Amino acid sequence: MSQDKILQLDPIVHAPVRLAILSILITVENAHFTFLKESTKTTDGNLNTHLTKLEQSGYIRIKKTFQGKKPLTLCSITKKGEKAFHLYLEQLDQIVRSQKNKT
């Protein structure tokens, strides 16, 4: 696999925390901010930064509501996010297969 192919990996998806977030969201209808924070072992600020980046890219949707008097932030993956996630996995698979063919 050429260096050009590796460099074509989506940098939005490739960041470890964002990849973890998308990996979670691809399997559920939506996830609470707190669940994502605990699952990714990040701080509120760090998670918020990654969620904002994903939302600005159109990969996730963020809905802020209240449950009683407590704020509730729900995140869900969009069709664009699903497509980007699957493309990323396909590209990784191509990289792995190309390396296996060298041995």
- Distance, in Å, from the CA atom of 74 to the CA atom of 35, rounded to the nearest integer, reads 10
The domain 3-95 is classified under which CATH number: 3.40.50.300, 2.70.98.10, 1.10.10.10, 1.10.1740.10? 1.10.10.10
- Distance, in Å, from the CA atom of 73 to the CA atom of 23, rounded to the nearest integer, reads 18
Q: What is the pTM of this model?
A: 0.89
Q: Quick count: other Cβ atoms within 10 Å of Cβ 36? A: 21
- Percent share of the chain, pLDDT over 90: 76
How far apart are the two ends of the chain, measured CA to CA in Å?
13
Cβ burial, residue 30 (10 Å; 0-12/13-18/19+) = middle
Q: Quick count: other Cβ atoms within 10 Å of Cβ 78? A: 16
Confidence of residue 1 (pLDDT cuts 50, 70, 90): very low
Q: Which is nearest to 63 in space by CA: 30, 35, 40, 38?
A: 30
33-83: pLDDT as tens digits: 999 999 999 999 999 999 999 999 999 999 999 989 999 999 999 999 999
Instruction: Give the ranges where the chain is alpha helix by DSSP (H).
Output: 3-7, 11-14, 16-25, 33-40, 44-56, 79-102
